Amino acid sequence: MISRLQRLSSKLSFKSKIGYLIIILAAAGVAGGAWFGYHRFSVAKINVQFDRPYKFKLIGLDYINKQNLLWLDTKAMSRIIVTQNSWVLQAKVEKVYPNTIYLYVSITQPLAYLQSDDGYFLLSENGRIVDKLKNIAAKLPVISYYQRFSYADISVGNYLSSKDLRDSLYFLDKINSLGFTINSIDIASFHMLGLYTIDNKQFLFSAEKDKEIQIYQVEEICKEFKIKGKEFQIIDVRFDKPVVTQ
């Protein structure tokens, strides 16, 4: 009887040892796999492609370098690049396994200067402040606004929230595409957005009226005058019926 109990105890002890060994090997396998996966898929190379020349250092790449491709959120990484770089309009992150990132960056095109109380804000096409300057450095239109913004209180990278300012940038971009060179913009009120060319032509818009309708009306008027071979002095599309002065 005692011998049988001893043999049974020996078998149970052997099975327990085997069980413990299996658990240890499984844990070691999981740990080894995790270690291999972490190092195998850690970002080792970042290829950056810009859509136009970019002279500044791209901020945020160090953060991407610390990531693992298996868990990297490409949309979150794109937002980080855009947020930390005022000149970046869009960023697209693509994973290439096992350890490479492709980063496609669109650089914004500055459209105008906004005059502040102690300098100028350089504005992008989407209303973002890409730089702050004490003096004008490039030949771009200067926006005069009916309220002066504080140079000290507004930071680079911020977006303008004023609809009349954002609409003015939209109108500026569209008028530029029609072949006119805008020299200055005067925002006297929400209903009076004036764009002025170097040859004294005037385009008058309103932030209260649909901006796409206003641009359509300007395009049609310019097309008509070009066909007729005539010149205009002022195009005012603030009201239901456009007013043209020759």
Tokens of 204: 């008058």
Does 228 score more than 70 pLDDT?
Answer: yes
Averaged pLDDT, 60-64:
83
What pLDDT is stored for residue 4 in this prediction? 60
Pick the closest to residue 89 from 55, 137, 124 (CA basis): 124
What pLDDT is stored for residue 44 in this prediction? 85
Binned at pLDDT 50, 70 and 90, residue 66 comes out as confident
Q: How many percent of the chain have pLDDT more than 70?
A: 84
Could you tell me the residue ranges of all domains in the chain? 45-107, 112-245
Q: How many percent of the chain have pLDDT more than 90?
A: 61
Q: Which CATH class is domain 112-245?
A: alpha beta
Does 139 score more than 50 pLDDT?
Answer: yes
> Are the beta carbons of 120 and 132 closer than 8 angstroms?
yes
What pLDDT is stored for residue 26 in this prediction? 47
Tokens of 179: 């072949």
Does 47 score more than 50 pLDDT?
Answer: yes
Cα 11 to Cα 4: distance, rounded to the nearest angstrom: 11
Q: Which CATH class is domain 45-107?
A: alpha beta
> Are the beta carbons of 142 and 119 closer than 8 angstroms?
no
Binned at pLDDT 50, 70 and 90, residue 15 comes out as low
- Per the prediction, the chain carries an average pLDDT of 86
Q: What is the pTM assigned to this prediction?
A: 0.79
Which run of H or of E encompasses 193?
strand 192-197
Does 128 score more than 70 pLDDT?
Answer: yes
